[in-house]
């Protein structure tokens, strides 16, 4: 397992699945895994955390200190977009591809048109 695969698994597990993760805003995805630090900071008036599980990403660990917050925000945005695509859009694409592959041979050949009324010849 690569580091990014482990990160994705942690985010999915923490959110409770792909559907739940796709419903979260990017700002929440950014701090998943740092809830304890977030609520402590809100209670005591300290600074809020910039990253939770995302800290283990090689993009953040290799970045400069001043850029880590920006990269974390960017990574959370891209993660939110990818989760929404996986959860909602790609289901439709996959369903259509499977239907096209397994629909009856007669329907593919055009012998039985689906829902279209037959045209009558004029005369």
Q: For residue 77, give every residue at least 6 positions away whose Cβ sits within 8 Å of its Cβ, in sequence order, or none.
A: 26
Question: How confident is the model over 21-52, as pLDDT tens digits?
Answer: 999 999 999 889 888 888 899 999 988 888 88
Per CATH, which fold does 3-105 belong to? Serum Albumin; Chain A, Domain 1 (1.10.246)
Question: 57 near 6, Cβ under 8 Å?
Answer: no
Question: How confident is the model over 59-105, as pLDDT tens digits?
Answer: 888 999 999 889 999 999 999 998 998 888 766 666 667 666 666 66
Q: Smallest Cα–Cα separation from 30: which of 71, 78, 72, 67? A: 72
Ordered by start, the domain boundaries in the chain are: 3-105
User: Is the pTM of the predicted complex or chain greater than 0.75?
Assistant: no
Question: 28 near 96, Cβ under 8 Å?
Answer: no
**Dmax of the chain from CA atoms?**
87
The DSSP letter of residue 2 is: -
8 has pLDDT over 80: yes
């Amino acid at each position: 397992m690569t580091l990014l695969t482990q990160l994705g698994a942690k985010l999915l597990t923490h959110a409770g699945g792909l559907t739940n993760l796709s419903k979260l805003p990017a700002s929440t995805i950014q701090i998943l895994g740092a809830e304890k630090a977030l609520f402590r900071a809100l209670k005591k008036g300290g600074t809020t955390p910039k990253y939770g599980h995302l800290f283990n990403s090689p993009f953040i660990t290799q970045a400069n200190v001043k850029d880590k917050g920006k990269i974390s925000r960017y990574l959370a945005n891209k993660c939110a977009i990818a989760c929404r695509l996986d959860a909602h859009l790609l289901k439709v694409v996959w369903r259509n591809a499977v239907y096209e592959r397994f629909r009856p041979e007669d329907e593919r050949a055009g012998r039985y048109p689906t829902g279209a009324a037959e045209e009558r010849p004029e005369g």
